[in-house]
Structure 1
Amino acid sequence: MLCFFFQFGSLTPLHIAVSIPGEEGVQITQYLLHSAPDLDARAEDGNEVYGPDQVPLPQTRETQLSRGVTVHLKNEAGPPKGYFSSYFGPVPEEGGRSALHIACEREDNCEHARDVIRLLLMHKANPNTLWSGHSPLCLAIASGNDLAVVELLKHGADPNLPLSRAVRSALCTAVSTTYEQKRTKAQRIALVDKLLEAGADILAPVTLREGQQKAVGTAVDYAYFEYYQV
């Protein structure tokens, strides 16, 4: 992660502090929050792609044979629009990483990262902005930090916030095969339950894409489509 700081401008000391591992990072973040002028300042990396989204995970021959099916999109119309729920929340702002995005992306220590995230949220950092199509909640899910997920939901992270690139919602992130190695099957089911309890809408429309082809479904359709891609 440290190489990131030398590649992009518009960094604040807070951007760097929230990435420091160990208790030291928590303490430095707490100190800086007393004087940080803008907790939601963005780095100049709005066009960067989140690491796990860059290259698909390789599939073994055993995995391919066990699935035995490939789902292809054909621009299906899908169910009538009345089947889906509508989103009435604010359109999320896209841009570079905020300090909260960086903290939620961390994979070094879930407890220390959670403590940093809690500090940022207690000081009113915005949990509903996007970087590389991902919200802080989405990044916490992708990085495997369920402690951070709880903290974000407790402090106003919208589980129905529309995402804009690889995944389309927090529920899609939770069921995506790209991030599944971070949790056991039981933990993934528990995560989906946690999001549903927090108000995640299973009937929110999700656009599935395959090259120029697309279709509209729900997070359930997204999970099915992801799993059967060979």
Structure 2
Amino acid sequence: MRNVEQSTKLDLERIVFIGRTFEEYMDMFSLSMEELKGKKILDCPAGACSFTALGNKLGLDVTACDIAYYHSVEDLEHAMEHMEKAKNNYIWDYFEDIEGLRKHRLSALKDCVNDMRESNGRYVPVTLPSLPFKDAEFDVILSAHFLFMYADRLDDQFHITTLNELLRVLKEEIRIFPLVDLEGKRYTHLDHLVSYLIENGCTVEEVKVPYEFQKNAHSMLKIKKR
């Protein structure tokens, strides 16, 4: 792994268990409670986000999966130190500053960890591109800040294999956010990937969302099975 001291990129190993709030999820995926009610939802990879914890408390049916669930909770301070070094890559309207971000992340982390202790079965350890779920088990899959973001270390074939696995466990729709790498550049192979999905029986739509924290990260990919 590249040392964060030598780059403005955040290190994958140190941010894998970052927490994002339920409200962030609703914005970054342009979601409403009405369209989620009655759906079986998978958050993959989920990190320490509070979407599963709060979603289930609000009556949704959400399962989280992440490689981080094989391990104990990371110390969030490491991620915040890295955010300080890379802060020029971000737009601070949503959080205002590092301290505002820290409060959101700690709140999400606390909600997630508490829920993990109370309902461990909702948090499934996985190592992509393999998932331990049945075919067509989930109506909706949400995938944030993983696919496309680490294009410098996860190649095109990994993305295709992972998407095929997500589609295997899916009934209806996948939403992926964002469509850029850690430097804010559009994923190089995105057009090829979209063509691949369409050729394999999916409808694909690029949708602008009411959320932008990382620069240029303001769109999601909506993939539907026909």
TM-score (norm 2): 0.30
Judging by fraction of residues, say which structure has more strand: 2
TM-score (norm 1): 0.29
